[in-house]
Amino acid sequence: MSWLLAFIGFALLIILHELGHFAAAKWVGMRVERFSLFFGRPIWSVRRGETEYGVGWIPAGGYVKITGMNPHEPLPPEVAPRAYFRQPVWKRLVVIGAGPLVNLVLAFVILAALFWASGTVQSNNRVGEIEPGSPAAGILQTGDRIVAVDGRRGDLTQLTGQIARHRCPGAQTDGCEARSPAKIVIVRDGRERTVELTPRYDAEVGRPRVGFSFAVEPVELGPGAAARKSLDTMWEVTSATVGVIVRLFYSPEARDEVGGVVGSYEATRRSFEVDTERAVLILGLISLSLAVVNLFPFLPLDGGHIFWAIAEKIRGRAIPFSLMERASVIGFALILILFVIGLENDVDRIRTGELDPR
């Protein structure tokens, strides 16, 4: 059953994305020849008016075929005025931008609805998990309330930052001990006491730590707060997605962070086996990632079409189609490389069990 639910979820994301292009094209008066779920030869199709609706046999996306996407395409006089490249730039931007916009709106609605229904969690100033073998082990206890560090009070960021001020002498290497201990004021069993812990530098997070995490507590959210939380989450995911793709050009380590369709599908499927709410959350984040990746300025992605349409507007006349074709070869190569890297990482994660939500 999880396979079917994950498939339906992915199919809906594709259909809604392409439906955005389709509806916008119809709205601005362009001629839509075909609306297809998946690629390849249709295994099912039906014609309604001037548009053919079908399902391809390669389950790897979908497309909307608009008349005149190639300006050199010979067209009958009765349909030529409705061709894509015969339209003003603003209409082309509306049509191309509608697909990613649908994914953005869908992601926002899913996240906001989940946050409103289930709330979220926030950290408080109590000690949560304590790492074995860390400076905090054997001294702090779960439930201790952190009041101050080195006499300074504040929020969790300020308390953590004060601990991080205790640097190692010389070079900051993984596991090195700070020159001086942090004096941490805690409340335990209603009594205030001070403990001294010597932070160790953690290269993974890039700062000195004493080896504990703050506890979290559930928080209910109203519709307004849920909407803000949704936007904050979308911004964090967008920044992370863009950051990973940009770092691919100069950081070999970023390669391991890339995921693909296979991994996303498998993570969704396994989540349906454990928790439907978690699976819906993953679908919302995938919808957001689809929008972000599609907006990168490389043909044949939507962002590539937007880039060249804006370039035409700035230039004041049409961009040579031959130049766009050469650019699309480069863009397709980059997309193919990204797909191969993501597929390789997905296979490794499935094999090692990293995608198991349990």
State the catalytic residues: 18
CA nearest to 150, candidates 134, 137, 135, 165? 165
Question: Given the structure tokens 């389709």, which residue do they identify?
Answer: 22
The four Cα atoms 108, 110, 111, 113 give a dihedral, to 10 degrees, of: 110
Residues 183, 149: contact at Cβ < 8 Å? yes
Residues in Cβ contact with 218 at an 8 Å cutoff, skipping those fewer than 6 apart: 119, 120, 121
CA nearest to 291, candidates 96, 66, 51, 25? 96
8-state DSSP, 152: B
8-state DSSP, 198: -
53, β-bridge pairs: 35, 46
Cα(299)–Cα(71) distance, integer angstroms: 16
Residues 207, 214: contact at Cβ < 8 Å? no
Please, where are the H alpha helices in the chain?
A: 2-28, 89-118, 156-164, 223-247, 261-274, 276-294, 302-315, 321-352
Cα(121)–Cα(125) distance, integer angstroms: 13
